[in-house]
Amino acid sequence: MRASFPMIARWRRALALGVAGLLAAVSGAPVGAQAPAPLSVPYRMFTLENGLTVILHRDTSVPVVSVNVWYRVGSANEKPGRTGFAHLFEHLMFEGSKHVKDGEFDGLLEASGGSNNGTTDNDRTNYYEDVPSNALELALFLESDRMAYLLDTMTPERVNGQRDVVKNEKRQQVDNQPYGKASEEIDKLLYPPTHPYSWQVIGSMDDLSAARYEDVVEFFKRYYAPGNASLVVAGDIDLDKAQALVTKWFAEVPKGAPVEPLTVPQPALTEVKRKTITDKVQLPRLYLAWLSPKELTADAAALTVAADVLSGGKGARLDRRLVHDTQMVQEIGAYQGGQALSGAFQILATARPGKSLSDIQKAIDEELDRLRTTPPTAAEVERAVNGIEASFYRAMERVGSYRGKALQLNHYYNATGEPDYFAKDLARYKAVTPAAVQAAIVKYLPKDKRVEFIVEPEGGR
C-alpha cells in the first residue's frame, strides 16, 4: 500500500519481550550483567549547499541500508478547498521521473532485493527504501531523480489517474470502512475550521476533484525542494563513501525557495461537543476525545502512561471492568496521539449487543474520576513504562521499514534539531510518576470540555 494516513484509533500494545531481555539484546550483555552503556545512536550530519540536511548512521549488524527522505510538508500545509494535495503527491512520486520510467522505480528496487514505501501525515511526507548494502547508490539515484526531475514527466493525465486512485482509496479505507467516518467527524469537532488538523490527510472528494495540474506543479515547486527536506542513510555503510554518494546524487538538485514553518494558535475546547451519526456497522461505538499536548513533551508522556493504565491489557482498569468483569464492551482502547502542532487523547468503546452506550460512558467516567482523585498505583505506572520501554527498544533493533532508526533519526531531527534524541525521548517516560499521571488527567481530560461522539448502526440495532 503506497499511502498511509493517521486514523483515530491506533493501538500500540502487546510486547512479547521483557525489558531486561531487550536491553541485553541491544547491548550484547547477558541478563543480570553490568548495566549497558547510556543509550546513544551515533551519527554524522552535514548540509549540502542546496540546503539538504543529511544524517548518516552506521549499523553493521545486518548487511542492509535504509534511505529515508523526509519532506516538511503534510496536510497541515494545505488550504481549505485544496485538501489532499500532500497525500496525492505521495502517489505521484512513484509514477516516474526524468531518468526513471513509469514502473521502473519499484522494478529496479525489487530486482536488487529491496523494498520501498511512502507515508503522509499532518506534518510531513516520508519516503524510504530498504535495500541490501550494495544497492545504496541505486536508492540514492532514485530518490534524487524524483526530487530534481519529477516535473519533467508530470502531465495532466498522470495527475488525473492518481487522483482517481486516491479517490478510490478514500472510498475503501474511509467512506466504506466500518466506523471510517469517525476520524473526520471527530477532528472537525476537536479543531476549529481554520486549524490545519481539522481536515483529513486524504482530503475531501470535492477538493480532490478540484485539484488542477497547475496546482500540483506549484505544490511540488514550493515544498519538494532540498531545503525543505532531510535525508537519513542508516545501516551497513562506510560513512565517508556514503557521504560521497549522497553528494554525488543530490548536490546539483536546485535549492528552491525557503518555506516558513507553520504557526497556528493553540486550539482549545470550552464545552462538551456531542454528535451522533449512523453507519453500516453491527455494533454502536462511543468515542471520547480531548485536546492534549504536542509530541515529545513531558505531559504527553504522562498521558501515554495514563492510556496504558486505562487500557493496556487485561489488568488495565477499563479492560478489566468493561471487557472482563461486566462484559459491556466488545473492545476498548485509549490512545494519546501527539503531533507537531497539537495532540489528541481518545477513548474508544464498542458496545456488546444489547449494552447501553450511556452505561458504558458512565463507567468510563467513574474510572476517570477515580484517577482524578487518586493517582494510579506505582505498580500500574511501572508496568506501563516497562511496556513503553520494551516497545522503544524493539523499534531500535532495525534500521529500516516504517518504524526503524532511520525514520526516528529523521523525526527527532525535524522535531528537535537533534537526531540522537533517543535517550531524551525515553527519559520522558521513565520520569513519569503516579502523581504526574493524575495531574495530566486532571489538566487535560476534564469531563466538561471534550468531544462525545457516537456511531449507531443504520436502522437501529
**pLDDT in tens for each of the 461 residues of the chain?**
333 323 323 323 332 223 333 333 333 344 455 656 678 999 999 999 999 999 999 999 999 999 999 999 999 999 888 898 889 888 889 988 999 998 899 999 999 999 999 999 999 999 999 999 999 999 999 999 999 999 999 889 888 888 888 888 888 888 888 999 999 999 999 999 999 999 999 988 888 888 888 988 898 999 999 999 999 999 999 999 999 999 999 999 999 999 998 989 999 999 999 999 999 999 999 999 999 999 999 999 999 999 999 999 888 999 999 999 999 999 999 999 999 999 999 999 999 999 999 999 999 999 999 999 999 999 999 999 999 999 999 989 999 877 899 999 999 999 999 999 999 999 999 999 999 999 999 999 999 999 999 999 987 65
296 and 245, same domain (yes or no): no
Same domain, 56 and 130: yes
Rounded to whole angstroms, how far apart are CA atoms 121 and 124? Answer: 6
At residue 34, the pLDDT reads 61
- Is 100 in the same domain as 199? yes
Q: Which of 184, 218, 250 is the last residue of a domain?
A: 250
pTM of the model: 0.89
Q: Within a domain: residue 449? A: yes
Question: Does residue 160 sit in the same domain as residue 294?
Answer: no
Position 44 scores a pLDDT of 98
Which grid coordinates are listed for 297? 513533551
Residue 35: the pLDDT is 59
Residues 240 and 290 in one domain: no
Query: Which has the closest alpha carbon to 407: 141, 67, 47?
Result: 67
Are residues 243 and 278 part of one domain?
no
Q: Does 260 fall in a domain?
A: no
Residue 343 and residue 326 in contact, taking contact as beta carbons nearer than 8 Å = no
Q: Are strands 115-120 and 273-279 parallel, antiparallel or unpaired?
A: unpaired
pLDDT for the residue numbered 162: 87
Residues 213 and 280 in one domain: no
Residues 359 and 326 reside in one and the same domain: yes
Give the pLDDT confidence of 291-329 residue by residue, as tens digits: 999 999 999 999 999 999 999 988 899 999 999 999 999
22 inside domain = no
102 & 69 share domain? yes
Q: How far is CA 59 from CA 25, 43, 214, 405, in A?
A: 15, 10, 43, 10
Count of domains forming the chain: 2
Q: Cell numbers of 380, please?
A: 500500574
Helix (H) or strand (E) holding 238: none
Residue 154 cell numbers, joined: 508530470
Query: In 105-264, at which residue ranges do the beta strands (DSSP E only) sit?
Result: 115-120, 125-132, 229-235
Strands (E), 8-124: 44-47, 53-58, 64-71, 115-120
Q: Residue 11: inside a domain, yes or no?
A: no
Q: Bin 32: left if φ > 0, else alpha if -120 < ψ < 50, else beta.
A: left
Q: What is the pLDDT of residue 168?
A: 87
Examine residue 265 and state whether it is found in any structural domain, yes or no. Answer: no
What are phi and psi for residue 385, nearest 5 degrees?
-65, -40
Distance CA 352, CA 329 (A): 5
- Here the CATH number for the domain that contains residue 58 is 3.30.830.10
Residues 393 and 452 in one domain: yes
pLDDT of residue 460: 66
Question: Which 3 state secondary structure label does DSSP give 431?
Answer: coil
Backbone angles phi, psi at 105, to 5 degrees: -55, -55
Q: Could you tell me whether strands 285-292 and 451-457 are parallel, antiparallel, or unpaired per DSSP bridges?
A: antiparallel
Q: Are residues 310 and 410 in the same domain?
A: yes
Q: Is residue 284 situated within a structural domain?
A: yes
Q: Note whether 374 and 246 are same-domain residues.
A: no
| Domain residue limits at 294 | 273-457
> Which of 219, 250, 281 represents a domain boundary (last residue)?
250
In-domain check, residue 257: no
Closest among 125, 44, 68 to 410, alpha carbons compared: 68
Residue 30 forms part of a structural domain: no
Which domain-ending residue is among 217, 250, 283?
250
